[in-house]
Structure 1
Amino acid sequence: MKLSVFLFFCFAFSAIAENASSQNAKVTLNKQNVAVSEVLNAIEEQTEYLFLYNKKNVNVNRTTSVHVTDESVARVLSELFHGTNISYTMEGKHIVLTRKESNDFPATAQQSGRSINGVVKDEKGETVIGANVVVLGTTNGTITDFDGNFSLNGVPEKAVLQVSYIGYLTKEVSVGKQNTLNIVLEEDTKKLDEVVVIGYGTRQRKSITGSVDQVGSEVFENRPVSNAMQALQGASANLIIQQKNMNPNDNSMSINIRGVSTMGNNDPLIVIDGLISSTETLNNLNPADIENVSVLKDAGSAAIYGSRSANGVILVTTKKGVKSNKPTVTFNGMIGFEDPKILYQPVEGWQNAMYRNQANMNIGSSPAFTPAQIRDLYDHRDEEYWFLDEIMKTGLQQTYNLGISGGSENTTYMVSAGYFNQDSNFKGNFGVERYNFRTNLTTEYGRFKLTSLMAYTRKNERTVAGGTGNVIINSSRIPSYYYYKLQSEDGKYLINDVIGDDNALAKLQEGGYEKKDEDNFIGSLNLDVKLFDGLKARGLVGLDLTQHHRFRRDKKVPLYSSADLQTPVGSLKMKKEKPLLVQTL
């Protein structure tokens, strides 16, 4: 029995370093024969600094030694990059490393080494165009031209060239005393022999002529995502997946292959273990149960599905057992926090008032604020807060998966169970919870192979009554005036001339909720009959049953126009013109 446990904890926090003064920050380092990157990491740990650099231009793998006690960061960096072509610039809490131009760097260092020429070919003698040739451990490199030729200057003695190209094994060549090199790359047979699932069975990658991409199970494992579609984001070229909002209860994600091609539905055909499915079924699938996903991008590879494959096909294959294998138990769990980061912030209240006055004067109207009112906003700027920040919170996310698989000489089995729970980033008791159970059984007898699949998914959701469509809009447009409050100290929900009768915090915490539960059952029987070598017949019967329940409760929340009032107001008539909220990126 094999037991593997993965436990990940992700915490988002902020800390204030003791070395608050950027220019006077000091460090103590005792590093012997380590990479430059390790020294930079040590500086980041002891200060508030964060290094920014391009690995192509800055060699952080160079070995160095640093022994300093209570020394300034500037002095350490000056010694660290002395005699190199790297310069640094301190910009607040960031240190930017850049490569100096040729006229800034000593000519002797630029010209050290000699010139190397060569040609790169494959095993058949064909030239390889666009192969990467780099002096190992440096950023000195080039690519081969249309004839497979390359030329490198400044190659030091005892240098090693690293040559790489897609579909070939990376090769390292010692230069020695040679000035001309003939390099032969070997095909990556392991990659070419990889079995790829396509519409009419499986094929080796090297025998496929259509446009097909395959995503392996390693993409789905240990990724902090809530569903399979999120796990596929960025995993395959030209597979475009967009999540429309951050609500974990909203599965309205758009998916298309190679962009939008029609005014109508652009969703590709989704097939899970041979059954035609939907994006909702794909989202209900436990990502840990996925073996691989094939993306069929052209008409040739997807032709078996007819007109339904006009927008491409996504084939999902779930995990199965292995023949003649002892029972294998796997368990993995992940716990983390989703911390929402708002990328824009409003200007301060007094600045907003000045912009509002300017806007009024531009259209010939009187200023909305007097100088005394603007001064009052300026004096109370430390008491301001933004409504959008006040309705957001950090959400806990946790996932646990247990699987048992194995097989005998003719039979394989795989049984898995999973649990997923994610809190909403909106304040209030909202979130989504999912339970998954799946079995995959196969039995072979002579020319016959029978495959049975059963999957059950239970999903519980709790979201805001009426949805969250206006929550962010109504909260983000409120200026950060100190006298605009969402809630008083004694718990009253407040309204003002801008927010009207729609207090977002009241709606989230007291305005009711909508509960949904969904039970989904998928079952299938698949019979393969081998007629003769190279030809087999397949029969498939399956069902996909879904049951929904929905309960909504709306609650009336008293709103007050002032914390001093004891009688709530139903709504506040907006007699004044709404202030304009100015936001900065």
Structure 2
Amino acid sequence: MVLDTQGEPLPGASIYVKGDTRNGVTADANGRFTLAVPAKTKAIIVSFVGMEQQEVVLLDRTDEYSVRLQSSTTIDEVVVTGIVTKRKDTFTGSSASFSGEELKAVGVQNPLASLRSLDPSFNLMESDLFGSDPNRLPDIEIRGKSSIMGMRDEVSEDPNQPLFILDGFESTLETIYNLDINRIASMTILKDAASTAIYGSKAANGVVVVETVQPQPGQLRLSYNGSMDISWPDLTSYNLMNSREKLEFERLAGKYDGGTADELIEKDNLYQKHLADIASGVDTYWLSEPLRTGINHRHQLYADGGAGGFMFGIGLNYNGVTGVMKGSDRDVLGANIDLIYRVGKLQFTNKFTAQQTKYTNPIVPFSDYAEASPYYKKYNEDGEVERWLSNNDYEPNVGNPLYNASLNSRDETKDFQLSDYFLTLTA
């Protein structure tokens, strides 16, 4: 019998002996065939229009074979709009489609970062303020920014971001950002106004269509994917003053001048104290204090199989991100169950996903460390972290960022999401 990937028969499929095209038959209306072959035949060839040709090795004492052919249409020949799949030569809009393998070939950090590497029109805007914060969702532009600018903090979502479609349903930026890249079968970018004919005004900034991997029929298959990458801070672009340069700058700026005679004496004493500390070797480099080497590791376990008109897929995935800023972490734990049931010309698909995300952010921002003067000591003579780096009547109190970071405080968020999509398709 000759079947397609959905387990449906392929009437008219061609079957012939390998190396002898004259010895062949055609499958009947039920996809069944009978072929008499010479005793020394090693394999037969099965083919069908629009499907990949398959070579079937013949086994001893076996005369019944069930052959499943895969579609030969590749992702670069079609456009997935989220509602229908059209051939590229019949789609009038501007689009770009990439398979899951192409996305993983350029990186496995997250799907959006891979998409940026593959298509120059898809931009993830860098933020100097947030740097490499793993909990900051990116700003996205497809072919530039629209007329609504500077409103991200005033509304719940950035009005300039594209519309996201996941398996035919509207989704969110965070869901796509957290999506395990091994679950993705393809990603398509619809770039121009033609997509508004499908999704309306929501598609004015473009559409990102994501299709996840479908369960495949056959024996139970169990697969595991794992990856890891390491990131470290680069401070070479910072060119800050050392302790001696900073003190001299403050002196020339007049910080230690002016006031009454008593005030001048106190300011001079403060200046001399800083000068003595510098002479003793105090030159604190505060920027490296809150930083570390970050590790990002991802794991995905997936099992799928099925027979006849029923197919299933069960997956577990984990993504653990350790940011380069101490205290910045992101843990994503997810599970998904995909069920497909086909009866006649109807196909019922149910996709269930559960996901828990835990965000941790540092209490003390990086800017506090950058603003601390290098002539201050991290610790006092007893090796303790004091609350104030400077506490006098002639300058604002300067807090010690190390003390603030040591307090029993934390900034955490836990998010748990459940989603279930049910589709009914007619062949």
In the alignment, which of 77, 84, 93 is matched to residue 210 of structure 1? 93
> Whole-Å Cα distance in 2 between the matches of residues 529 and 200 of structure 1?
13
Q: Over aligned residue pairs, what C-alpha RMSD do you find?
A: 3.3
Alignment partner, residue 297 of structure 1: 191
Structure 1 SS opposite 2:410: strand
**Structure 1 residues 408 and 293, CA gap change in structure 2 (3 angstroms):** same
Alignment partner, residue 333 of structure 1: 226
> Whole-Å Cα distance in 1 between the matches of residues 380 and 137 of structure 2?
32
Cα drift, residue 200 of structure 1: 3.9
**Structure 1 residues 193 and 511, CA gap change in structure 2 (3 angstroms):** closer
Given that 2:182 and 2:225 are in contact with CA atoms closer than 8 Å, whether structure 1 keeps it comes out as no
Given that 2:314 and 2:337 are in contact with CA atoms closer than 8 Å, whether structure 1 keeps it comes out as yes
Spell out, residue by residue over 1:473-502, the C-alpha distance to the aligned partner (whole angstroms, 9 max, x if none): 221022211x43267653333422378354
1:484 equivalent in alignment to 2:367? no
Alignment partner, residue 272 of structure 1: 166
Structure 2 SS opposite 1:309: helix
**What does residue range 395-410 of structure 1 map to in structure 2 within 5 Å?**
395-410=294-309
> Whole-Å Cα distance in 2 between the matches of residues 414 and 464 of structure 1?
38
Given that 1:441 and 1:453 are in contact with CA atoms closer than 8 Å, whether structure 2 keeps it comes out as yes
For normalisation by structure 2, the TM-score amounts to 0.68
Alignment partner, residue 237 of structure 1: 120
In the alignment, which of 344, 350, 356 is matched to residue 250 of structure 2? 356
Structure 1 SS opposite 2:402: helix
1:257 equivalent in alignment to 2:142? yes
Alignment partner, residue 317 of structure 1: 211
**Structure 1 residues 509 and 398, CA gap change in structure 2 (3 angstroms):** farther
**Structure 1 residues 410 and 384, CA gap change in structure 2 (3 angstroms):** same
In the alignment, which of 528, 531, 543 is matched to residue 425 of structure 2? 528
Cα drift, residue 273 of structure 1: 0.7
Cα drift, residue 258 of structure 1: 1.1
**Structure 1 residues 473 and 225, CA gap change in structure 2 (3 angstroms):** farther
Structure 2 SS opposite 1:393: coil
Alignment partner, residue 42 of structure 2: none
Alignment partner, residue 384 of structure 1: 283
> Whole-Å Cα distance in 2 between the matches of residues 297 and 270 of structure 1?
12
Cα drift, residue 437 of structure 1: 0.7
Matched to 2:293, the amino acid is T
Matched to 2:324, the amino acid is N
Cα drift, residue 207 of structure 1: 3.5
Given that 1:494 and 1:503 are in contact with CA atoms closer than 8 Å, whether structure 2 keeps it comes out as yes
1:518 equivalent in alignment to 2:415? yes
Give the strand-richer structure, 1 or 2.
Answer: 1
In the alignment, which of 378, 386, 389 is matched to residue 496 of structure 1? 389
Cα drift, residue 373 of structure 1: 7.3
Matched to 1:250, the amino acid is N
**What does residue range 124-139 of structure 1 map to in structure 2 within 5 Å?**
none
Given that 2:349 and 2:422 are in contact with CA atoms closer than 8 Å, whether structure 1 keeps it comes out as yes
Cα drift, residue 374 of structure 1: 8.4
Alignment partner, residue 350 of structure 2: 452
Matched to 1:292, the amino acid is S
The ranges of structure 1 where at least 4 consecutive aligned residues each deviate by more than 6 angstroms after the TM superposition are 189-192, 363-366, 368-375
> Whole-Å Cα distance in 2 between the matches of residues 488 and 377 of structure 1?
12
Gaps (5+ residues) in structure 2?
A: 1-71, 150-158
Cα drift, residue 227 of structure 1: 4.0
1:201 equivalent in alignment to 2:84? yes
Q: Count residues in correspondence.
A: 332
Cα drift, residue 448 of structure 1: 1.0
> Whole-Å Cα distance in 1 between the matches of residues 232 and 83 of structure 2?
44
Cα drift, residue 300 of structure 1: 1.4
> Whole-Å Cα distance in 2 between the matches of residues 321 and 411 of structure 1?
10
Cα drift, residue 268 of structure 1: 0.9
Spell out, residue by residue over 1:246-299, the C-alpha distance to the aligned partner (whole angstroms, 9 max, x if none): 465623321121111122511111111111111122223222211111110011
> Whole-Å Cα distance in 2 between the matches of residues 431 and 364 of structure 1?
48
> Whole-Å Cα distance in 2 between the matches of residues 331 and 462 of structure 1?
28
Cα drift, residue 379 of structure 1: 3.9
Given that 2:326 and 2:362 are in contact with CA atoms closer than 8 Å, whether structure 1 keeps it comes out as no
Matched to 2:208, the amino acid is I
1:431 equivalent in alignment to 2:329? yes
Given that 1:211 and 1:297 are in contact with CA atoms closer than 8 Å, whether structure 2 keeps it comes out as yes
**Structure 1 residues 292 and 419, CA gap change in structure 2 (3 angstroms):** same
Cα drift, residue 377 of structure 1: 6.4
> Whole-Å Cα distance in 1 between the matches of residues 293 and 231 of structure 2?
6
Gaps (5+ residues) in structure 1?
A: 1-188, 531-585
Given that 1:215 and 1:236 are in contact with CA atoms closer than 8 Å, whether structure 2 keeps it comes out as no
> Whole-Å Cα distance in 1 between the matches of residues 184 and 379 of structure 2?
45
> Whole-Å Cα distance in 1 between the matches of residues 326 and 382 of structure 2?
18
Cα drift, residue 360 of structure 1: 3.8
Given that 2:325 and 2:362 are in contact with CA atoms closer than 8 Å, whether structure 1 keeps it comes out as no
**Structure 1 residues 459 and 210, CA gap change in structure 2 (3 angstroms):** same
1:393 equivalent in alignment to 2:292? yes
**Structure 1 residues 253 and 524, CA gap change in structure 2 (3 angstroms):** same
**Structure 1 residues 332 and 369, CA gap change in structure 2 (3 angstroms):** farther
Cα drift, residue 396 of structure 1: 3.0
Given that 1:192 and 1:204 are in contact with CA atoms closer than 8 Å, whether structure 2 keeps it comes out as no
> Whole-Å Cα distance in 2 between the matches of residues 453 and 318 of structure 1?
10
Given that 1:427 and 1:505 are in contact with CA atoms closer than 8 Å, whether structure 2 keeps it comes out as no
Given that 2:357 and 2:414 are in contact with CA atoms closer than 8 Å, whether structure 1 keeps it comes out as yes
Cα drift, residue 358 of structure 1: 3.6
Given that 1:227 and 1:284 are in contact with CA atoms closer than 8 Å, whether structure 2 keeps it comes out as yes
Matched to 2:371, the amino acid is R
Structure 2 SS opposite 1:234: helix
1:509 equivalent in alignment to 2:406? yes
Matched to 1:516, the amino acid is T
> Whole-Å Cα distance in 2 between the matches of residues 297 and 517 of structure 1?
34
Q: RCO (CA 8 Å, sep 6+): is it higher in 1 or 2? A: 2
Matched to 1:520, the amino acid is Q
Structure 2 SS opposite 1:329: strand
Cα drift, residue 216 of structure 1: 2.0
Cα drift, residue 350 of structure 1: 1.2
Alignment partner, residue 68 of structure 1: none
Cα drift, residue 380 of structure 1: 4.2
**What does residue range 116-155 of structure 1 map to in structure 2 within 5 Å?**
none
